[in-house]
Structure 1
Amino acid sequence: MLGAPVASILIVEDEPDMRELMARKLRDAGHTITTTRTGAEGLAFLRAERPDLVLLDVKLPDTSGLSVCETVRDDADIRDTLVVMVSASAGQEEVDAGLAAGADDYVTKPFAPSNLVRRIAALLSTDR
C-alpha cells in the first residue's frame, strides 16, 4: 500500500492458521509483526514493547479479548494503543461489547485479508 503508514503490530490469536494468515498479509503490507497466543502473553508484550496496534481475538485460551482490551484502556502506559477486536461473533451485541470495551474497530471472521489491511491502514492514518 503506497503511502500507508508502517506500524508495529501485535497479533493475539490462539488459532495458528488465522494467526499466520494475518501475520503474512500484514508483513506483506510492510508492517512489523509479533504474534502471541494468549491474553497474558499479549499484555506482557504490549507493556514491554508498546506496539502501535494490536489485533486481539475475542476468545483466547486464558481470558477474553474484551477483558484484555479493558485492561489496555485502564493502563496509562498502553491505553493509547490502537486495538482491533477480531471474532467469529458477528452479532451487533458482540460488536457493541467490543467497542464498549474500548476497541477502535471490530472485524468479524471470516474476512478478506485485503480488507483487514485496508482497515488497519485507515486506523493508522487517523490523527488520534
Structure 2
Amino acid sequence: MARILIVEDEPDMRELMARKLESVGHEVTATRSGSEGLAALRSTRPELVLLDVQLPDTSGLTFCATVRADAELRDTLIVMISASAGQEEVDAGLAAGADDYVTKPFAPSKLIQRVEALLSPER
C-alpha cells in the first residue's frame, strides 16, 4: 500500500485516522504540527499527506503552498481536512494546491475511499 503522513493537532482525530489507514494496510506517520509535518515529509517521503487546515504553528494553506513550491516535494498528494465546510474555505484549500478537501466530521470509511481514489493508478 502507500506511505501516508497525517498532520493533525487533535490527538483523537490523529489516532482515528492512523488506525483506520493502518487497518487497510497503509504505513502511517502522524505528526501534530506543521513544523513536525514538514520534517516528516522530507524524511519519510509519503505518497499522500492528510493535512489539518488549522495547526498550532502554521496554517494548512501555508503548509500546502510550501510543499507545492518545493521541487522535491511538489508531487506529493495532499488532502486538506477541516471543520470549515464553506465553499470559500474549500476553494482556498484547492487554490493552495490541495488535491482534495474533506470536511469534519467525516465517516472514516469515506476518508479511506477518498484516499484510495487519489492513490489509484488510474487517477
Same fold (TM over 0.5): yes
Deviation, 1:52, is: 0.6
Q: Does 1:42 align with 2:37?
A: yes
Deviations 1:92-124 (A, max 9, x none): 000000000000000000000000000000000
Secondary structure of 2:75's counterpart equals: coil
- What SS does structure 2 have at the residue aligned with 1:56? strand
CA deviations over 1:58-90 (Å, ceiling 9, x no partner)? 000000011000000000000000000000000
In 1, Cα distance between the equivalents of 2:99 and 2:30? 19
2:78 is the counterpart of 1:83: yes
The DSSP-based 3-state class of the residue aligned with 1:78 is coil
**Partner in structure 2 of residue 111 of structure 1:** 106
Q: Distance in 1 between matches of 2:77 and 2:121?
A: 11
Paired residue secondary structure (1:9) = strand
Q: What fraction of aligned residue pairs are identical, expressed as a percent?
A: 76
Whole-Å Cα distance in 1 between the matches of residues 119 and 59 of structure 2?
25
Deviation at 1:45, TM superposition (A): 0.9
Tell me by how many angstroms 1:127 deviates.
Answer: 4.6
Match of 1:15 in 2: 10
Q: 1:58 aligns with which of 39, 53, 60?
A: 53
Q: Which residue pairs with 1:29 in the alignment?
A: 24
Say yes or no: does 1:120 pair with 2:115.
yes
Question: Take 1:71 and 1:127, find their aligned partners in 2: how far apart are those partners?
Answer: 27
Q: TM-score, normalised by structure 1?
A: 0.94
Pairwise CA RMSD: 0.9
Could you tell me the TM-score, scaled by structure 2's length?
0.97
Who is 1:3 aligned against?
Answer: none
The code of the aligned residue for 1:74 comes to: A
Unaligned ranges ≥5, structure 1: 1-5
AA matched with 2:23: D
